[in-house]
A and B are shown apart, each in its own frame.
Chain A
Amino acid sequence: MTPFTVLESIAVPFIQDNVDTDTIIPSREIKAVSKRGLAGGLFAGLRYTEIGGRQENPDFVLNKPIYRNARILMSGKNFGCGSSREQAVWALAEYGFRAILAHSFNPIFRRNCIRNGIVPVELDVTKLLDAADHLVVDLDAQEVRDSKGRLWPFAIATEAKSMLRNGFDEIDLTLLRAAEIEAFRTRDRARRPWAYL
């Protein structure tokens, strides 16, 4: 995973509440047992003129020429609700998004972001709309800045920040504790034998 420090980009305003993972990537676009090859299916239901097609819908915000290289997405409440499919986050990452600014996030979606190098920034984005042409997401400082010097601080859990900042593989970190886990399991097994099949 690529470590995240500071990101500068134009931000795409996709301001709706309850954007679900079916909208981010419809189930029909998940065609292979793979974490890759998903960017084409991102927002497929809105981005293209017909189901299964690749003819771009010029009215959809992602297709506007100024947002072609945007790496920040802005949205409303409860972003990423619905299905736990991590393909939604893989598709966003493969397309090029590295930060999502939303009023709030679904819990599974937020965790999937952190494990794939996308920073979930919880903010009331309506305050940033006029600054969206150039935003800086600074993870170390935990703030979003615009070109006029305004800034919006955001909160992020220490562990999540450290994972994003360092690009750690969480499994490697936990495997360092294998002996501790094994000792815990041995004690627990005596206490709750029915939990072990």
Chain B
Amino acid sequence: MGKTIFEKIWSEHCVSEINDEVGLLLIDRILLHERTGGVALQGLATAGRAVKAPHNCFATMDHVVDTLPGRTDETTMPTGKSFITATRAAAKAAGIRLFDIGDPRQGIVHVMSPEQAIVLPGLTLVCPDSHTLTQGALGALAWGIGSTEAEHALATSTLRVARPKTMRVTVEGLLHKGVTAKDLALFIIARFGSSGAKSHVVEYAGPAIDALDIEARMTLCNMTAEFGAFSAIIAPDMKVFAYLRGRPFAPDDTLWPKAVAHWRGLASDPDALFDIEHRVNASEVQPMVSWGTNPEQSIAIGDRVAPSMPNAEAAATRALNYMDLKPGSALEGLKIDAAFIGSCTNSRISDLRRAAAILRGRKVASGVRAICVPGSTTVKLQAEAEGLHKIFIEAGFEWRESGCSMCFFAGGESFGLHQRVITSTNRNFESRQGPNTRSHLASPETVAASALAGHISDPRMVQL
């Protein structure tokens, strides 16, 4: 019987089967950020343990660091500075590369790692961050862990992993023009539920996935955290190889042919079996917007809110109250207070280019606070080289330094009480982006079009 890509990577990394359920897996890359990484390094040092393979570990500042121009170690988040300085000191002591404030490689960990080719096909990669599975878009087995697991990975270059089950989501057909990977992700989560992936490794396949560019694949894999998955993965293809070639930590010319030959063998075999198989048709997907306080509470932009999830009436009612909506409300036309483009979901150069195409020569509606936060300093510099920053600024967007920024409220900056925000981020939980903030998840295009209109608006209606 054939093997899935997950099974191939698992067996290649399995040092030892601890028992029927658990394998001791070799970990190729460990990424850390100042929010959860500093405490792991500190825990390790307190226990008197050393980092086993510091050259394969990387740290960056993204979660707590300010994104306001002219930033320093000081943060608008109270006590944020302590996370930055502790992580810097711990990374230095452990001999781990740190992409610090001011380094052009600094950025959101799941944006900067692919950019630097720290992640490669077939690698195992972990980070104490739930969106680590983003990096499965390049054919790696990448998953989020806790800080204690991070200590284990750092100290031993391995993790004890209970073998997850597998799911394949085959996406037939092609996405319509103006419909993005973000919309596809929200469509899948809305259809199968936010625990629909049930701790499985989700492999995405099919013509619509083949057609996605690498950054769009990252968006889809990223949102799989909101699908309840252990991890997400897409078989590496020519697009992945072309994306990685020549990047800083990619194999050099002498190793490249051998690496590519290896990577070509990773794809799931035609006769491989999955524990669960789902099929969706890309042509059914419309631009999606969330209406509630969980990503599964999302609908096509032209639809009306009609919660019909079995046994979820109480949750739906609570969500509608929180969002100040009624059953049957339309989302299109709903007045917004703010618009946010950023986060590990949608802050890469292609996201910014597509949003800028909508904003070019237009102005954000009066009264709407609009913010764009590039995902990494590399993205920011590239956007500035292309003149995209001028488009954002002239339209009325704030143009920020890179980081996670207002994807979540950490006690510093926020959108404010009851503010309604259209956002390219990944979580619309209660008070996620600020005290009682009402977040509507959408693609960068929908965020841009809505910022211009002053209300939730279909980006396909904007003349490009």
Give A contacts to B, CB under 8 Å.
16-18, 20, 22-23, 26-35, 45, 51-52, 77-78, 81-86, 89, 104, 106-108, 110-112, 115-116, 157-160, 170-171, 174-175, 177-178, 180-181, 184-185, 188, 192-197
The answer to whether A174 touches B152, judged by C-beta atoms less than 8 angstroms apart, is: yes
9 A-B pairs with the lowest CB-CB distances in the bound complex, closest first = A28-B411, A194-B251, A78-B195, A112-B146, A86-B146, A84-B130, A107-B199, A27-B410, A115-B148
- List 9 extra interface pairs beyond A86-B148, A107-B164, A174-B155, CB under 8 A: A18-B315, A31-B411, A45-B431, A84-B129, A106-B195, A115-B148, A159-B18, A159-B160, A193-B255
A185/B315 in contact, CB under 8 A: no
Contact check, B411 vs A81: say whether CB atoms are below 8 A apart: no
Complex interface bits, B256-292 against A, C-beta within 8 A gives 1, otherwise 0: 0011001000000000000000000000000000000
* A28: B residues at CB distance < 8 A: 77, 409-411
A181 CB contacts on chain B under 8 angstroms: 15, 24, 26, 156-158
Whether B386 sits at the interface, judged by CB under 8 Å, is: no
Q: Which positions in B face A, CB cutoff 8 Å?
A: 12, 15-16, 18-22, 24, 26, 28, 35-36, 38-39, 42-43, 47, 49, 53, 55-56, 77-79, 82-83, 86-87, 120, 122-123, 128-130, 144-149, 151-152, 155-158, 160, 162, 164, 194-195, 198-199, 226, 228-230, 249-251, 255, 258-259, 262, 294, 296, 312, 314-315, 318, 408-411, 427, 429-432, 435
Residue in A closest to B123 when the chains form the complex, CB atoms = A195
Cα(A170)–Cα(B155), bound, Å: 11
Q: A78-B228, A193-B255 are contacts. A177–B24 as well, Cβ < 8 Å?
A: yes
Q: Which residue of B lies closest to A126 (CB)?
A: B311
Minimum distance in angstroms from A192 CB to a CB of chain B: 7
Contacts of B148 in A (CB 8 A): 86, 112, 115-116, 170
**Which residues in B have their C-beta under 8 angstroms from that of A110?**
199
A184 CA to B314 CA, complexed, in Å: 52
Closest to B161 in A: A111
Q: How far is the CA of A178 from the CA of B435 in the complex (A)?
A: 48
> Which B residues lie within 8 Å of A108 (CB)?
130, 144-146
Residue of A nearest to B127 (CB): A84
Contact, CB under 8 Å: A192 / B429: no
A190 to chain B, nearest CB (A): 11
Residues of B within 8 A of A77 (CB): 195
Q: Determine if A86 and B147 form an interchain contact, defined as CB atoms under 8 angstroms apart.
A: yes
Shortest distance from the beta carbon of B437 to any chain A beta carbon, whole Å: 11
A197 to B28, CA, bound (A): 9
The interface residues of chain B lying within 8 Å CB-to-CB of A178 are 156
Least Cβ–Cβ distance between B378 and chain A, in angstroms: 19
**Contact A197–B55 (Cβ < 8 Å):** yes
Question: Is A111 within 8 A of B157, CB to CB?
Answer: no
Contact in complex: A171, B49 (CB < 8 Å): yes
Q: How far is the CB of A76 from chain B (nearest CB, A)?
A: 8
Candidates B128, B147, B199, B408; contact of A27 at CB < 8 Å:
B408
Q: List, in ascending order, chain A residues with CB within 8 A of B158's CB.
A: 174, 181
Chain A hits for B20, CB < 8 A: 158
Q: Name the contact of B249 in the complex, choosing from A45, A85, A197 (C-beta under 8 A).
A: A197
Whether B149 and A111, one on each chain, are in contact in the complex, defined by CB atoms closer than 8 angstroms, is yes
23 A–B contacts, CB within 8 A, in A order? A17-B312, A18-B294, A20-B294, A22-B427, A22-B429, A23-B430, A32-B79, A33-B42, A33-B83, A34-B39, A81-B194, A85-B35, A86-B146, A106-B228, A108-B130, A108-B145, A108-B146, A159-B160, A171-B155, A174-B160, A181-B157, A194-B120, A196-B53
A104 pairs with B198, CB closer than 8 A: yes
A34 to B128, alpha carbons, bound, how many Å?
15
Q: A22: which B residues are within 8 A, CB to CB?
A: 408, 427, 429-432
A26 and B431 in contact, given A107-B164, A108-B146 (Cβ under 8 angstroms): yes
Chain A residues whose C-beta falls within 8 Å of the C-beta of B79 in the assembled complex: 31-32
Contact: B152 with A170, CB < 8 Å?
A: yes
Q: Is the CB of B16 within 8 A of A180?
A: yes
B146 contacts which chain A residues (CB < 8 A)?
A: 84, 86, 89, 108, 111-112, 115
Give, as a whole number of angstroms, the nearest-CB distance from B304 to chain A.
22
Whether B130 lies near A194 (C-beta < 8 A) is: no
For the complex, what is the distance from the CA of A112 to the CA of B26, rounded to whole Å? 20
A191 to chain B minimum Cβ distance, whole angstroms, is 8
Q: Is the CB of A115 within 8 A of B149?
A: yes
Residues of the A chain whose Cβ atoms lie less than 8 Å from the Cβ of B128: 84, 86
Give the nearest-CB partner of A115 in chain B.
Answer: B148
The distance in angstroms between the C-alpha atoms of A32 and B82, with both chains bound, is 7
Nearest residue, chain A, Cβ from B83: A33
Chain B residue numbers with a CB within 8 Å of A78 are 194-195, 228
| Complex Cα gap A167–B86 (Å) | 29
Interface contact A17-B315, CB-CB below 8 Å: yes
| Interchain CB contact under 8 A, B431 and A33 | no
Nearest CB in chain A to that of B229: its residue: A107
A107 to B312, CA, bound (A): 22
Residues of A within 8 A of B43 (CB): 35
Q: Please, how many angstroms separate the alpha-carbon atoms of A160 and B161 in the complex?
A: 11
Other-chain contact of A33, B86, B156, B229, B251 (Cβ < 8 Å): B86
Q: Within the assembled complex, what's the spacing in Å between the Cα atoms of A184 and B155? A: 16
Whether the pair B39, A177 counts as a contact (CB closer than 8 A) is no
Contact A171 B151 (CB under 8 A): yes
Determine how close the nearest CB of chain B comes to the CB of A165; give it in whole angstroms: 15
Alpha-carbon distance between A184 and B28 when the two chains are bound, in angstroms:
13
Are B18 and A82 interface neighbours, CB within 8 A? no
Question: What B residues does A158 contact at CB under 8 A?
Answer: 19-22
